[in-house]
Structures are given as C-alpha cells and as structure tokens.
Structure 1
Amino acid sequence: MAGLINGVGVKITGEADLAAAELRTTDGYQRTKFAIFNLVLEQLEALGITAETAPASMIRDGVEQAITRFAAKEGLALNAAERSLLAAEVQNEVVGLGPLEPLLKDPSIDDIIVNGPFRIFVERGGQLSAVPARFRDTAHLMNIIQRIVSPIGRRVDEATPYVDARLQDGSRVNVVIPPIALDGPMVSIRKFRTQAMGAQDYVRLGSMSQEMLGFLSAAVRSRLNILICGGTGSGKTTLLNMLSGYIEERERLITIEDAAELQLRQSHVVRLETRPANLDGSREVNARDLVRNALRMRPDRIILGEVRGAEAVEMLQAMSTGHDGSMATMHANSSRDAFGRLEMLLGFGGLGGDPKTLRRYIANSIQIVIQVNRMANGKRRVTSVSELTGLEGESYSLNQLFGFEEQPPLSGLGEFRTLSARPYFGHRLVGAPDLRGAAARGLA
C-alpha cells in the first residue's frame, strides 16, 4: 500500500496471510483503517441511521465507497487483496468487535486473551501463543469492551472496574480495567462451542475411558447428585453439558449461572442468570437468590453452573430434599479439597458450628465427585471419579472407582484405571456397566 507505512509501499503477494499480519501491526495501517472507519460513520450519520440499524448490504457498500474516496484523496494504489483486507477490518470495526472478530470466527481457537491494546494471545489445543493483531490504542479497546457489556445490561467503569459478561453466541467474557489493571484493559474470552462435545468425543479424544462414560451416564439417569471439580479452564462446564444429555426429556430442569453458557438440549429447561448491582449498589440478584427461587418453581433437577459462595447452602438443601440428580461445578484441586471448600462456603452462608455436622450434611447430599484437570500438554482429562459414601470418624469416606495414572509425571500421558468393581451406589444404578473385568485389568 503506497504511502501507508512510513511512505513505503507494502504489497500483499503470495504469502498473503503473513503480509497481512505484518501490515495490521503498523501504525500507518491503523491510521488508515480508522480514517476510513470515520468516513463510514459520517456517511451513515448523513443518512440519519446508525450502524446497529443499517442493513448489512448498506454497510458493505458504505465501506467500499469510503475506501475509494480515501484512496483517491491520499493517492493510494490498492490491489484487490489489500482492498479486501481493509474492507473486512473496517466492517468489523463498524458492526463487530474489531480485531477480535476474526479470532472469534476461528474454530481452532478456544480462548482469546487481551493484555492491553497491543498484546493479544490465543489458546489452540491447550497451548497459548501470541497473534499479530492489535487495537489502535486504549480508547479503541475500551470502545470494544463497551460493545461487549452494554447489550446484556452490564457496565464497566472506574466504579466497577471488573465484570463478567457474555457474547451473543454464548462465549464467556471477563473484563478488568484500570485502576485495578495496571497495564491497561484486560479481556479474557472463553469461546462458546457451536457444537457441544458428544459423549463419544470424550472417549475418542482420550478425556475419559469407555467404562467411565458408562458409569457416569448411568449415574445421571439414576438421579445421583454429582459435583464436578477442577481448576480454571479444565473443562468442568463442558463435561456438565455432556452429562446433562443423559437427563430424560420429561424432566423439568432449572439452570443457574453467572454468565449463561450451558447448552442443555432438553425442551423443558428454565435458564436463570445472576445480575450485578446497579450504580447505587442495589438490585443485585445473586446465585443464592436464584437457587432459593428455583426451589419454588417445581424443578426436577437444579443445575448450578458454579458453586462459589453462600448458594452452597441452598444447593445442598436441594440435593438432599427431593431434587435428586442435581449437578454443579466448583473450583478445587481434588475431591477432598472440594469438600473443604464446601465447608467454608457453608460457613459463609451462615451454617457454622460443629464441623462433623457440616460434613454429615455434605455426605448426605452428594453421591458422585468427578475431578477434571488440564494436563501439562494441554489435554483435558477426567482424572478421578469417586463416590462419597459417608463419614469415617471425622473424615469423608470416598470409594474411588476410576483414576488416571500419569506416566511420566507432568507429561499429560498415561492411562485410565478402573480401581473398584463394586460401586457403593450400585443398587441405585440403572444400566451401569459391569466393572469387574475392567477392574481386574486396571489393577493388574
């Protein structure tokens, strides 16, 4: 593009992707793109319409006209590839999310991480890498952030410098801005899978064994209460989505989330989402409020996207008082760590007192605990499936049915093992696989 980068022409040739990537990072290209962007907005304003209400064909035509006008005024000789690149990126600025738009459309990307206006990273196959995309400046990034949070009634400003939100396609977004983000606005996007992982995908990709899948599907159908534990990005919600597919169509389900991302396929699903406080600190609706209300809505099962606060009290009440088959996720490094966190959260909810009483309450509410981990090689695996069978003195009694043995350590490689042939809740399971042969192989 003659005159676009410090007065030196840059031409996109056979290596189009590489040249385009280099071009995007230059100040000259950014200035040109936003000059054309401003021309498009002026055209729309002259017609008395906004980018949100204008037809897509009008936006495309307006972008092409603006490029032509700007090129003629500045004496730029644009070839077809250069013109196409500018047109696509200006259109993303007008009606999309700017530099994030092509990353959101790339099916190979799972996470997008923005560290200030000039550094963008993506995760592919569990591995992070930088991409040659950038925002013009902090103001540009803040404008895109406002486009993300405004449509769902959220806000982010100096008074509320962080927020959880979601995109129209269901992708989960977290935003942190100054003054608490010292190096500029930070955006983390967990992309929504357009096609949810199926049960056999877990076996095919090595995320669980066939015996695990058989047992867990039977546990869901048999209405055992299930808690899924793991770290950030370990695949808890994805696993919850998959297991929910085994719930019968006739059941009434209520889901409760901070940012709606579950993809339940049943027809009788009620989706509830928390709401943050407004500017004066009122009108907040938290997860505990929603669980309490859900209990009055005649649910067959309650599915809680994540347990992280005082809502643990109501969740365990639901699990132990007639809402069998309920499911939830929570952050924990192991099954026993999860119980310790639950005890702490029950204390936050006002259930203090004798630790043994709290442990008995937990043990009477939860039957199955699943641990998922993201391994060192980026693979996500179910590393443990255990039954919570009660208490032995002051400690929880766990019957571990399945595990993943990693060899060598920190490699992400290894094999699944069937560790027990006798499920404690076997008498309640419908259609569970016979684990005796698998256990013999696993213990050999």
Structure 2
Amino acid sequence: MHLDNMEQIQKRVLEDMDLSEENDDARLKKKIEEKVWEYGKEHLISLEEEQRYVQEIFCSLRKLDILEELLQDDSVTEIMVNGYQKIFYEKAGRLYAWEKKFTGREKLEDVIQKMVAKNNRVVNEAMPIADARLEDGSRIHIVLEPTAIDGSCITIRKFPKEPMTMERLIELQTLSKEAAQFLEMLVKAGYNIFISGGTGSGKTTFLNALSGCIPSGERIITIEDSAELQLHGIENLIRLETRCANVKGMEEITIRDLIRAALRMRPDRIIVGECRGAEALDMLQAMNTGHDGSLSTGHANSCEDMLHRLETMVLMGMELPLTAIRGQIASGVDILVHVGRMRDGSRKLLNIMEVGAYTDGRIELSPLWEFQEKGEKGGKVIGEWKSREKLKNTRKLEWAGIGKSSSQPALRL
C-alpha cells in the first residue's frame, strides 16, 4: 500500500511539473508537499506518513532514492546493492539485510546513471563496470546486469564526513598513542611508507590519517582511481584522478600515466591511493628519485606478502630480473605498515616493519611494532601494541632534525 501511494503521488508531481522551468530542490520539495497534502486529504493519510512520503519522493526524484536514508546514517560504513530487491549494509563491522528495496530494475538503473553522470563517467552494456564517487568522497563500484547475473550491483564504501586523523584512530583503538607518534615522526621525516591489508581492512582510512601528518609547506600530488583522500591544511595540493576510455573517443588515463605526469610537476611527495598493477614500477621509481615521504597502499595478507606482491606488480609493467626489482624495492620503500580487520569488525594496525637491505637474494625485514592479542572482552578483541626492534635507518630522522636526542621514547633510537 505504501508503494502504491508513493507511485500515485509521484505520478501527480511529474505530471504537474513544468519541464521548461528550472526546478531547484526547494521548488521541487514544495511541489511534492502540495501533492502529498492533496492526496492525504483524499485518502486520510496521517501527518507522519505525509512527511515520510515527501522525503522519500524527493529522494527518488532528486537524490539516490531509497539509498539516501543509508547514506545519511553516519553509523553505516558500507552499502551493498545486489540487484533491485536485495540491499545490505555494514554497521559497527557487521552486515545487515535492509527491508527496503527499489521499485524495479528501471529505478535501480536510473540511480546508477545518476551516480556516474556526476563523475563524468559512463556505464552501459559495452562498459558494464565503473568506479565513481559521491560528493562526500564515498567510493562507488558498479557492475551492470547481465555481467552481474542476478541484477546490477552497487557497492558504496562510505567515508567519515570529517577527515580521519591519527588522534581519531587512537580513539577507535586502531593503534596506540606511542605507535601513532612513531609513525607521525617517520612521515614528517620523509620515510617512504607502503600500507598493506586485505579488502575492507582500512588501508585508505589509515593512508588518510598518515597524510595528515605531512608538513603543510610541501607540494603534494595525490593519484587515485576515484578521488577519496581528504587532505586538509595543505595549500600546495594537486589531486589527480584516472579516466576510463569511452565510446566518445576519450582515451583512458591510467595510474601509470598520472604518476609519470606527476613527476614533471615538481612534487615533494606523491601519494598513490592504491597500487594494483604495473604502476608499482613507476611508484618505486618515484620513491628512488628524490620524492621522499611518498605513500601508497596495496592488497596483501602481511608485510612479507606485500613485498612479493610488489615484485609481481612490477613484472606486469616490465620484464626485469628479480634481483633488480628487489633492489628497487629495498632502496625505495623504507617502512611497511600492515592493517587488518579483526573478527569483531574492528580495524587495527597489526605490524610496522622496516625494509632493510637486499642481501643474499632476499630483502631484510625488521619488526618495529606488533599488535599482540590478549583475548576478548564484551565481544571486542583486546590486546596491546608492543615495540620490538629499534629503527636501524635513522638517517632521514637526523636530516629532519629528529636525532637520537629526540624526546619521543616511541622512536627507540
């Protein structure tokens, strides 16, 4: 009955709209209110129902339909649409099925086209997969039917309205205050840091927080598939985003293209949202050619696995001897940070490791910090972050004026 009422009112709104006029949000909402009030008098609808109809019809016509309610809920971190009838969302690390659904396939397709249109992207039968972002920076991934057999799919990774900081990560118990101070010093001193983790482990969130430690006077270039990093307080900032090829003849612009372009723009640091393939070679070359303090992320199950993944990704771009690749990694990457998602849904810093020299066919790794689990309390994983070995390569800290006399005990110099 609810859907029938909505469809009837929405039909009246559309019939009464003058398409030759510019209908801004305020004008449209007023028109909807009028039609809901008229319909409410005819069918004895309560005031509460009228208000709900106004909001839902407005979201249907101007926003992202039923998804808008989940998007406005700050406690929801991820939204998953599996066809027009099945919607799931993540809250506090747990997945829930939502009782609402789209009115049909056509409505879902309409919402998808609204999403990509705002990003100047195209998704259709010829190109059924697309990445986009919402105005607040939330990441969108779309796979259209029939590539998605049971109906078009949308995955929305939401991000906090306020930029993530190290202080906030400490509050969320993602890492300890001492480990955060240690990483902050390394970022300020210009250590090249690579963050690894699985899907949904919080790599981009952690990268955002680390980026907030960069001194404000530097020139930063960020490179992403869909721009989602939120860097504040940096005036000399350039944000670059990839582009897919389309039927109108626009050529693809890849992460590799953007890294090469960035190298000609006199950056102090380059931040690549995620390395997935051959662009790892360009990122390593940037790290090895004076762009100290560069940051990136990659999918891996551990710090050791990240090294192997980097080797594989470099080989995607160029056939090089493994000795040459490992030498590039050892001289380019200073620190590996591994983050993970725990069984209670929380995200935690699991390891900080120093990348050492390449000797005897292997890259040395030294554990600096490690999360040691102690058990569970109230359904939450508890533990502590333990400092392991001392940082060996202190050269950049000393160049930055942070030497052995530092008052920061977390550095253990």
TM interval, short-chain normalised: over 0.9
> How far does residue 415 in structure 1 lie from its aligned partner after superposition?
2.0
Quote the residue 1:376 is aligned against: 343
The answer to whether structure 1 residue 65 and structure 2 residue 34 are counterparts is yes
CA contact (8 A) 1:231 1:373 kept: yes
1:360 to 327, 330, 335: 327
Counterpart code for 2:173? G
Residue 47 to residue 371, structure 1, CA distance change in 2 (3 Å): closer
CA contact (8 A) 2:163 2:231 kept: no
How many matched pairs? 403
User: Larger deviation: 276-285 or 235-244?
Assistant: 276-285
CA contact (8 A) 2:336 2:352 kept: yes
1:157-168 equivalences in 2 (<5 Å) = 157-168=124-135
> How far does residue 219 in structure 1 lie from its aligned partner after superposition?
0.4
Counterpart code for 1:342? L
Quote the residue 1:433 is aligned against: 408
Give me the identity figure in percent: 39
Quote the residue 2:79 is aligned against: 112
> How far does residue 211 in structure 1 lie from its aligned partner after superposition?
1.7
> How far does residue 191 in structure 1 lie from its aligned partner after superposition?
1.0
- Give the match's secondary structure for 1:309: coil
CA contact (8 A) 2:165 2:210 kept: no
State the TM-score, normalized to the length of structure 1.
0.87
Counterpart code for 2:127? T
CA contact (8 A) 1:375 1:411 kept: no
> How far does residue 280 in structure 1 lie from its aligned partner after superposition?
6.2
Counterpart code for 2:92? G
The answer to whether structure 1 residue 200 and structure 2 residue 167 are counterparts is yes
Quote the residue 1:321 is aligned against: 289
The answer to whether structure 1 residue 48 and structure 2 residue 28 are counterparts is no
> How far does residue 428 in structure 1 lie from its aligned partner after superposition?
2.6
Q: Quote the Cα distance in structure 2 between the aligned partners of 1:353 and 1:254.
A: 28
Quote the residue 1:245 is aligned against: 212
Quote the residue 2:357 is aligned against: 390
**Unmatched tracts of structure 1, length 5 or more:** 1-27, 440-444
Counterpart code for 2:94? Q
Q: Quote the Cα distance in structure 2 between the aligned partners of 1:217 and 1:69.
A: 60
Q: Quote the Cα distance in structure 2 between the aligned partners of 1:288 and 1:110.
A: 30
Quote the residue 1:36 is aligned against: 9
- Give the match's secondary structure for 1:110: strand
> How far does residue 287 in structure 1 lie from its aligned partner after superposition?
0.5
- Give the match's secondary structure for 1:118: coil
**Unmatched tracts of structure 2, length 5 or more:** none
- Give the match's secondary structure for 1:217: helix
User: Larger deviation: 87-96 or 281-290?
Assistant: 281-290
CA contact (8 A) 2:37 2:50 kept: no
Structure of higher CA gyration radius: 1
Q: Deviations over 1:269-328 (max 9, x none)?
A: 100000001126751000000000000001010000000121111111110111111100
1:3-14 equivalences in 2 (<5 Å) = none
> How far does residue 182 in structure 1 lie from its aligned partner after superposition?
1.0
- Give the match's secondary structure for 1:152: coil
Superposed CA RMSD: 1.9
> How far does residue 37 in structure 1 lie from its aligned partner after superposition?
1.6
User: Larger deviation: 63-72 or 124-133?
Assistant: 63-72
Q: Quote the Cα distance in structure 2 between the aligned partners of 1:315 and 1:235.
A: 21
Counterpart code for 2:3? Q
Counterpart code for 1:38? K
Counterpart code for 1:158? E
